[in-house]
Amino acid sequence: MQNEECRMQNAKSGEWQVMRIALKQHSVLPGFGVSLGYTMTYLSLVVLVPLAALFARSASAGWGRFWAAICDPRVVASYRLTFGAALLAALINAVFGLIIAWSLVRYRFPGRRILDALVDLPFALPTAVSGIALTAIYAQGGWLGRWLEPLGIKVAFTPLGVLVALTFIGLPFVVRTVQPALEDLEKEMEEAAASLGAGRWQTLRRVILPALFPALLTGFSLALARAIGEYGSVIFIAGNMPMKSEITSLLIITKLEQYDYAGAAAIAVVMLLASFGLLFGVNALQWWVNRRQRVGA
Amino acid sequence: MSIEVRHLSKTFGRFAALCDVSLHIPDGELVALLGPSGSGKTTLLRLIAGLEAPDATDGAAVLFHDENVAGRPVRERRVGFVFQHYALFRHMTVFENVAFGLRVKPRSERPSRAEIRERVLTLLRLVQLDGMAQRYPSQLSGGQRQRVALARALAVEPRVLLLDEPFGALDAKVRQELRQWLRRLHDELHVTSVFVTHDQEEALEVADRVVVMNEGRVVQVGTPEEVFHHPADEFVMEFLGSVNVFHGRVEAGKAILGPLTLDYARGVGAKSAPARAFVRPHELEVDDHANGRPCFAAVVQHVNAAGPRVKLTLTADAGESLQAEVSLERYREMRLSPGMVVYVSPRDLRLFVDGEQKVVG
């Protein structure tokens, strides 16, 4: 009713009023306008403008060159490695991160806190440091490489090395998202399942895992996003052999070094769209799961 | 299916939650385990269910109809357990929650899909939740969730039904409705049921038999009437409803309780001993003049006339505070108001000497 009055008084300010009411939930805290304005400006400056520039840059080269840049066999091979290894690494992390989170939450053992702190190490370590460390360990004659070599397994300077590095840096994401969900999981739910005749395995599969699934999915998507964008730790261990162990980020750098800005931008756009698509897919899945499983009080 | 527990003890670290408890629950009864928090009632229930293992003491046993199940894990005991906070599977619909116990049965015993569906829908009708089958627990109210939990527990046709503070998380009105409903449900199904509560009103209203517990022991077992009117000891007396306590002594055939002196029939000539007398608010006679019986004067402090009986707070000469109840008619007749002096005499009282109840006459 108030809206109508406003509209009658002054069409322009009336419309403004309607919009404000639609956007703003009444709050005791002042500053809706300021904080929304700040958010918009900040997001534009930090995220949207650079992305727009990226598109503009890649478009400047023209369609033919753009297409050639992104379809180069060497580039295509790098997509396959980057996204394939990232997906695989995120899946590995989802499985083993879950197991680590489970042991950290469910069991009390000496050294648990130290182990808990260790999980964050891949977060904290500069990526170059982890890259060098992993390379040193897995290279021929390295601590682990020495034992893997006779078995015919080469890790350093192969795609497998990329996978190892991506798994390493993605681990904390899964552990840290699953951990709180696991802590919140009521013990009573498991007891209820047991009293209804379910065995341990059935309880795990039908009760615990579905309840953890949203958290696991979040952890998975974070690990995936991180792995797709990872550069520092990978380039040391990958060996960067064209068509074999080159990741896409490295190709972008290479193009930049050759002053091929348009080519770099073109590949970057593909990366951007692909990651966006992947994350969008994961988010949609998450939304669907959460809608089914709203956490009730 | 009758339940019998023998010599059960349970310690958590250094805390003895249950000390050598033995109890028999006859087939088909609805029994309340009543006690303050920390009295061991939930522990006893969980031991019966098998969610907790008793201390390995001699003769410790849990029997369902003469079959010792003490060594069996909870999933083999076929008990229905209902938790205070429902413990519903929140990622499953109401239907799937109720069907869970049937779906996890080994293939040879599992009913067909149609049978499961039939059974679940029948149960949902029983708990008056038909039409809610496709909802998720988060879309239900507390009372509805607890009914789903009950249907889920009943789905596996449990030998006994165990409920841990089933109405504890609900608000007063829903609580009241649900406990009467539980009573009716039990009368229909006749499955031996044990429920834990710290609410004496709930226990006295719903149960066939009340087991009063304190500090890890069973203090008294009896019908609601028995435990209310013939409490075994001072704890039961104080725990079941509000009560006035008079401190005094017994001496040469008399009980001297502050301003009151009463004849004390038994044990005439016994030596002087400290005593405590308990009088419930409705057992105090309040009058506006001394009426010849042993009585004492008190001042009305507060009047609460909201309810079928008027609740009075009185202060006796000695300064102790008393609770009394009078009918609405008496209240109007005497025109009671704060500051008025009234004469109080106990119509009935229970005297405990050295923790043992004595008869006053």
CA distance A98 to B156: 32
Contact A118, A107 (CB under 8 A): no
For residue B138, give the nearest of A207, A210, A294 by CB distance.
A294
pLDDT reading at B333 higher than 50: yes
* B181: closest CA of chain A, how far (Å): 22
- Quickly tell me which residue has 């596996």 as its tokens: B156
Residue B361 confidence (pLDDT): 46
pLDDT 10s digits, B125-165: 998 898 899 999 988 998 999 999 999 999 999 999 999 99
Residue A22 confidence (pLDDT): 53
Residue B358 confidence (pLDDT): 66
Which phi and psi angles does B197 have, rounded to 5°?
-155, 155
- Which residue in chain B has the smallest CA separation from A210? B91
Chain B CB contacts of A186 under 8 Å are 85, 87
pLDDT 10s digits, B246-259: 888 877 777 777 77
CA torsion A235-A240-A246-A250 (nearest 10°) is 50
What residues 174-233 of chain A have any CB closer than 8 A to a CB of chain B? 186, 188-189, 191-199, 202, 206-207, 210-211, 213
pLDDT 10s digits, B334-348: 888 898 889 888 888
Q: Do B100 and A206 touch (CB under 8 A)?
A: yes
For residue A293, give the nearest of B73, B78, B90 by CB distance.
B90
Is residue B269 very low, low, confident or very high in pLDDT (cuts 50, 70, 90)? low
Give the contacts of A8 (CB within 8 A, at least 6 positions apart).
A14
pLDDT 10s digits, A31-55: 788 888 999 999 998 888 988 888 8
Is residue A162 very low, low, confident or very high in pLDDT (cuts 50, 70, 90)? very high
Buried b / exposed e over B37-49, threshold 16 CB at 10 Å, is eebbbbbbbbbbb
For residue A198, give the nearest of B75, B81, B85 by CB distance.
B75
* A190: closest CA of chain B, how far (Å): 9
pLDDT 10s digits, B191-230: 999 999 999 999 999 999 999 999 999 999 999 999 998 8
Structure tokens at A212: 């953890």
CA distance B167 to B206: 12
Mean pLDDT of A136-147: 86
Mean pLDDT of A87-104: 95
Q: Do A196 and B89 touch (CB under 8 A)?
A: no
pLDDT reading at A155 higher than 90: no
Chain A CB contacts of B91 under 8 Å are 210-211, 213, 292-293
CA distance A268 to A117: 35
Chain A CB contacts of B136 under 8 Å are 292-294, 296
Q: How far is CA A132 from CA A78, A169, A170, A237, B27, in A?
A: 21, 13, 17, 7, 72
Q: For A59-73, A105-119, B15-29, B136-150, which range has the lowest pLDDT when averaged over its residues?
A: A59-73
Buried b / exposed e over A126-153, threshold 16 CB at 10 Å, is ebeebbebbbbbbbeebebbeebbeeee
Residues in chain B: 361
* A245: closest CA of chain B, how far (Å): 42
Chain A CB contacts of B51 under 8 Å are 191, 194-195
Pick the most confident of A239-248, B111-120, B277-286: B111-120
Q: A261-292 and A209-229 helices cross at what angle (nearest 10)?
A: 170
**Which residue(s) pair with B322 in the sheet?**
B314
Taking the model in full, what pTM does it have? 0.78
For residue A197, give the nearest of B83, B90, B104 by CB distance.
B104
Determine contact: B80 vs chain A, CB below 8 A: yes
Determine contact: B49 vs chain A, CB below 8 A: yes
User: Which amino acid would we find at residue A42?
Assistant: Y
pLDDT reading at A14 higher than 50: no
Q: Calculate the average pLDDT of chain A.
A: 84
Determine contact: A108 vs chain B, CB below 8 A: no
Mean pLDDT of B323-332: 90
Q: Calculate the average pLDDT of chain B.
A: 88
Residue B1 confidence (pLDDT): 83
pLDDT top residue among A65 and B49: B49
pLDDT reading at A16 higher than 70: no
pLDDT reading at A9 higher than 70: no
CA distance B341 to B243: 21
Mean pLDDT of A97-103: 94
Residue A25 confidence (pLDDT): 61
Residue B23 confidence (pLDDT): 93
Give the contacts of B224 (CB within 8 A, at least 6 positions apart).
B203, B204, B205, B207, B209, B210
* B276: closest CA of chain A, how far (Å): 43
Residue A3 confidence (pLDDT): 46
* A68: closest CA of chain B, how far (Å): 48
Determine contact: B89 vs chain A, CB below 8 A: yes
CA distance A8 to B166: 58
Whole-angstrom Cα Rg for chain A = 25
pLDDT 10s digits, A202-239: 999 999 999 899 899 999 999 998 999 898 889 888 88
Helix or strand holding residue A283 (H, E): helix A261-292
Chain B CB contacts of A194 under 8 Å are 51, 73-75
CA distance B104 to B119: 15
Mean pLDDT of B79-103: 93
CA distance A77 to A82: 9
Residue A142 confidence (pLDDT): 83
pLDDT reading at B306 higher than 70: yes
Which phi and psi angles does B181 have, rounded to 5°?
-65, -40
Asked casually if ipTM beats, i.e. exceeds, 0.85, the reply is: no
CB-count exposure of residue B90 (10 Å: 0-12, 13-18, 19+): buried
pLDDT reading at B89 higher than 70: yes
* A173: closest CA of chain B, how far (Å): 23
pLDDT reading at B360 higher than 60: no
Q: Do B138 and A196 touch (CB under 8 A)?
A: no
pLDDT reading at A171 higher than 60: yes
pLDDT reading at A201 higher than 60: yes
Determine contact: A99 vs chain B, CB below 8 A: no
Contact B252, B246 (CB under 8 A): no
- Quickly tell me which residue has 């988060």 as its tokens: B138
* B196: closest CA of chain A, how far (Å): 16
Q: Do B104 and A198 touch (CB under 8 A)?
A: yes
Taken in order A216, A220, A221, A226, the sign of the CA dihedral is: positive
